[in-house]
A = this chain, B = another copy of it.
Amino acid sequence: MNAGMQFPPNVLAAECPSRQVLKHLTSQWGVLVLLALQDGTQRFSALRRRVGGVSERMLAQTLQVLEGDGLVLRVAHQVVPPHVDYSLTPLGAEAAQRVADLTGWIEAKLPEILAAQGA
């Protein structure tokens, strides 16, 4: 439907829109937020505590991007002080699974990788 789009999608092609999605999913904070959300619905401040080192600004931005891709669901309860719940959409859960596979592998193989770095 789109002008620059090609079939099938191919991330190795510079102009393919999948490239943008890839960037979102593999962004530093995108990966970690997806991972954190695997534990279930959480609110902003809880996520911030869970994802080590993320700033409020980056967390907010990352959540907006992921929401824009349909991976994260944002539910704001109209109360004061604010209460907002974030969770994975079904699509987001699938993505989170692949991301978790990758991070899980890294954690498991870290000793080997660290050893290779030393060499």
Contacts of A36 in B (CB 8 A): 12
Chain A contact surface mostly: helix
Q: Mark A80-119, 1 if CB is under 8 A from B, else 0.
A: 0000000000010011001101110111011011111101
CB pair A18–B107 under 8 Å, yes or no, is yes
Contacts of A21 in B (CB 8 A): 106, 110, 113
| Identical subunits present | 2
Does A63 touch B at the CB level, under 8 Å?
no
We find that the number of chain A residues with CB closer than 8 angstroms to chain B is: 51
Q: Known A12-B50, A35-B11, A94-B109; judge A25-B102 contact (CB<8 A).
A: yes
CB pair A117–B70 under 8 Å, yes or no, is yes
Given pairs A16-B52, A22-B106, 4 additional interface contacts (CB within 8 A): A9-B107, A11-B103, A21-B106, A91-B109
Q: Would you list 28 pairs from A and B whose C-beta atoms are within 8 A, ordered by A residue? A: A8-B107, A11-B31, A13-B52, A15-B52, A17-B110, A17-B114, A18-B107, A21-B113, A22-B31, A22-B102, A22-B103, A22-B106, A25-B102, A25-B106, A70-B113, A70-B115, A70-B119, A71-B116, A91-B109, A91-B112, A91-B113, A94-B105, A94-B109, A95-B109, A98-B102, A98-B105, A99-B102, A102-B102
